[in-house]
Structure 1
């Protein structure tokens, strides 16, 4: 509690009060955020033709970029990472359709291989999700993503190269890179 925090503080009374105040502010911010989330959930349930949608102002990290505009349950709680401004917003279907499309330029943490694959027309979600190794996924004793590979969905036991692995294998040969991007499902 803020009172306990202030009383257990060390130093002059002003420092102790500042510690209590900081604790009270943090608790208040959390309570207001929780109340807003619950109110949004009630609004979504009570109002027809509205949907709960994941939203965040640009710029984005990879983890959030793939969620923008996704329809979610009104009471969905996301585990946010540091400095994440993402939230669930209640919108009409029309407003949801008018959300801006995420562009690679808005994503701050793409590596050069991911950007190269996107420049060739690769699917954004495929490229971003390729860097997520399956739980416990290993190849030759090291995690799959460290080797530039991933298990290909729907293909038991087959390994899928990540954009990094593709560009390393292709070297400076653009045609080979495009062929590999197509082979591994990044291009259609």
Structure 2
């Protein structure tokens, strides 16, 4: 998809702050240091749109990025790394859970997994929970540029095995550095929007 317009349009912590124009939404979930901001910037062709922080766990709200007045990317707080209090983490958990479980316009979750490492316990829990609440999942293995191309299939096989991947869910490799996989991710997104 050719992105001609992309902006951060809504920041929400409660349902009454969500957009009301009923455009399809795709949530981006993953560990705090998986590269969600870099993914957003590369997919939307906007270098500094999503702020990249040296300190993982910066996203503490649901950030709605409008794309071509056609859909939203919704960046949810990362899990598993952020140095925040237990009460703050519980608050995020409730906010994320409410959005993912109840949002009618949510078409799919792009679950980002660091391709260099086997999925973490948190990655597995998130995937299982998304399957349990029957939300379509597109698995995106990030940081492909950090692994020699000849080893991609081995790393993808590990992710597939460790997550016990549903055969209906796509597993795509991606690099925010080189853009490899970008077209395939857009193709998967557009298929979920119908």
TM-score normalized with structure 2 length: 0.24
Q: Which has the higher helix share?
A: 1
Structure number with the bigger relative contact order (C-alpha 8 A, sep ≥ 6) is 2
Identify the structure with the greater strand proportion.
2
The TM-score with structure 1 as length reference comes to 0.24
Higher-Rg structure is 1
